Chains A and B, each alone.
Chain A
């Protein structure tokens, strides 16, 4: 047996990630349009950029998948010519690591909506951390900074927590997730 992820896990993770990479790319202009409204309304939809990690993990349920998915999605956005260029890659690595840490903290044993939301929040916190350097957000007026925090985290819970979980639940009904998940204890018991 080979250590770590198998080629199957990797390819499935990357294909999921690249689907979201295309969405990430399309999300850029949408984000731009909402941002011109001011008052950080755009932060509510920022959460979409964390979804690849959560969805890929919820589908495949293996260590390393969240990080790989977020990097792959960012890489996808980057090579399709995303507006943020190299910044995307750095944010992707940060967000992926944060989500991965949450899943690791629960020993890759929990796959519910709460854990998805927690991972989303962790990714949001990581992105905010990078933004301190990238966007000087520490130099925003305090009330404005707090709105940014609040809306970005709320958006993360809504999109990469609740929505991602609902999406994977719907996907489970198609039976496709059984292809790629590791065998569970129940599976072995069913074998008797």
Chain B
């Protein structure tokens, strides 16, 4: 979990969390409308710059986190490359049919997957969940009962992980041997999930009763421990995007990497 690590605070941390989330969602929708791989690659480089230079986390951590990106690229692209529709055949072995169109479409999906992954990880690395929910209450009028429930639940997760560790030791010390096969797997899942779930529900219930008693569910005139507003960093972020996005369009038209400008079939 990102929140337990030490890091330097950068301007990305100081952006209003609600605004950041909203922009992430808008960028997601916008990215879905990009069908030109050239634009997408430039776009991705722009987002990658945020990840590499502005998250304030040490290089080693960034490197470790980025390992799954490669996997994302593979999982997002391979089936489309091998089994996508297309007319200009490059290779064919049995069911696998690689065409020029399917290859580039697969590539596009891979880059798209990586772009989403980068955006997501930038958000996760630079946003404290507590600030996010405080901000959602103040800027988006999220009901406090939802926001405080989220925050309380996030606090309970380390407890749950500890409990799982204890459970593991308890099973070990009693010499519980895992069986092989599907049955064994099912039994193993059950022996962990049932105690974990039941304990967590009990704990959540007790905490919720206490929170209700303390009027955490109250809305209306609340005061907040953290007040979150807007600052110049929000403007910087918007300006960054307003430069990077048009720039990726312009460079894609003047210096394209590939001649294909729309990866969808039949266009």
State the A residues within 8 Å of B (CB): 2, 5-8, 10-12, 14-19, 22, 28-29, 31-33, 35-36, 38-40, 42, 59, 68, 72, 75-76, 78-90, 133-136, 138-141, 144, 148, 167, 170-171, 174, 176-177, 179-180
Contacts and interface: CB of A to CB of B under 8 A. Distances in A.
Interface stretch (B168-176, B211-219, B229-237): B211-219
Contacts of A16: 197, 200-201
Contact of B194 (A18, A68, A148, A170): A170
Given A85-B24, A86-B123, 19 more contacts: A5-B145, A11-B149, A11-B211, A18-B154, A19-B196, A29-B71, A36-B74, A38-B78, A83-B68, A83-B69, A85-B117, A133-B32, A136-B84, A136-B264, A139-B80, A140-B79, A140-B83, A148-B79, A171-B198
Interface residues of B, number: 75
B260 interface: no
Contacts, number: 196
Nearest to A82: B120
B227 interface: no
27 contacts: A7-B149, A7-B217, A11-B149, A11-B205, A11-B207, A12-B205, A14-B149, A15-B153, A35-B74, A36-B78, A39-B95, A40-B79, A59-B201, A72-B153, A76-B154, A78-B120, A79-B129, A80-B2, A80-B124, A81-B65, A83-B72, A85-B117, A85-B118, A86-B123, A136-B80, A136-B263, A148-B79
A170 B192 CA distance: 12
Contact of A167 (B32, B76, B193, B217): B193
Given A81-B65, A81-B124, A139 B265 contact: yes
Interface of B: 1-2, 24-25, 27-28, 32, 65, 68-69, 71-72, 74-76, 78-80, 82-85, 95, 97, 102, 105, 108-109, 112-113, 116-121, 123-125, 127, 129, 132, 145-146, 148-150, 152-154, 156-157, 160, 190, 193-194, 196-198, 200-205, 207-209, 211-212, 216-217, 263-265
A80 B149 CA distance: 17
